Amino acid sequence: MADAEIWKRCSACKESIALGATYWACNVSTCNRKRTALVFCTVSCWEVHLPEANHRESWAVEKTAPRVAEAAGAPAALSSSGTRRIVRTAAPPVGDASKAATPDEILIIASRLKDYVRATSGFNTSDGVLGPLSDAVRRICDDAIENARRDERKTVLERDLPPARR
């Protein structure tokens, strides 16, 4: 294959990935940063990186390389598009819509909250506290998600959360 037809090389086997060819990328954000930008020619090459990557849950995303050499320098979001994913583990991905929490679902473990309040103050806790507290957690999570999105990450980190008030 001529160098003019090569887009990138596979991160595992170093085989050439041609312009316009199908390739695979890891769904985990740390594998997709500009500095790392791991690409794989096959799903089996993607699987090779898993033991050292130490992902808890991941899958390969099928993408298409840019068709012209000029587009190769463009941001990944513009030059390729994910069309499907292959789940690596038996558990569904975290973002799976079928397992998404409903807007009114309780996110707080009642027994843990009641134990904390009782140990801290000696007070009892009403079950009516769980809904508003879950709403507060959702608002905090939404803000953290926006912070991660602003930093072009797909992982919410501790630094994305607002400082705790005491």
The per-residue pLDDT for range 99-135, each reduced to its tens digit, is 555 677 888 888 899 999 999 999 999 989 988 999 9
Q: What is the pLDDT of residue 165?
A: 82
Domain for residue 96, yes or no? Answer: no
The pTM for the full model equals: 0.43
79 band by pLDDT with thresholds 50, 70 and 90: very low
Q: What is the pLDDT of residue 21?
A: 92
Q: What is the pLDDT of residue 82?
A: 44
Domain for residue 38, yes or no? Answer: yes
Rounded CA separation 88/40 (Å): 15
The domain boundary, picked from 54, 87, 120, lies at 87
Q: What is the pLDDT of residue 116?
A: 93
Domain for residue 94, yes or no? Answer: no
Domain for residue 113, yes or no? Answer: yes
Give the torsion through C-alpha atoms of 137, 102, 148, 24, to 10 deg: 150
Q: What is the pLDDT of residue 32?
A: 81
Digit-coded pLDDT (tens) for 14-67:
999 999 999 999 888 888 888 888 999 998 888 888 877 778 788 888 999 998
* 65 neighbors 20 (Cβ within 8 angstroms): yes
The domain boundary, picked from 57, 87, 117, lies at 87
Rounded CA separation 91/71 (Å): 36
User: Do both 79 and 9 map to the same domain?
Assistant: yes
User: Do both 50 and 124 map to the same domain?
Assistant: no
Domain total for the chain? 2
Instruction: Please name which of 78, 32, 76 lies closest in space to residue 55, comparing C-alpha atoms.
Output: 32
User: Do both 49 and 107 map to the same domain?
Assistant: no
Q: What is the pLDDT of residue 18?
A: 92
Strand partners, 61: 25, 85
The domain boundary, picked from 65, 87, 109, lies at 87
Q: What is the pLDDT of residue 54?
A: 77
Largest CA distance in the chain: 75
Q: What is the pLDDT of residue 106?
A: 86
Report how far apart the first and last C-alpha atoms of the chain are (Å, whole number). Answer: 63
Domain that holds residue 119: 101-160
User: Do both 22 and 66 map to the same domain?
Assistant: yes
User: Do both 53 and 122 map to the same domain?
Assistant: no
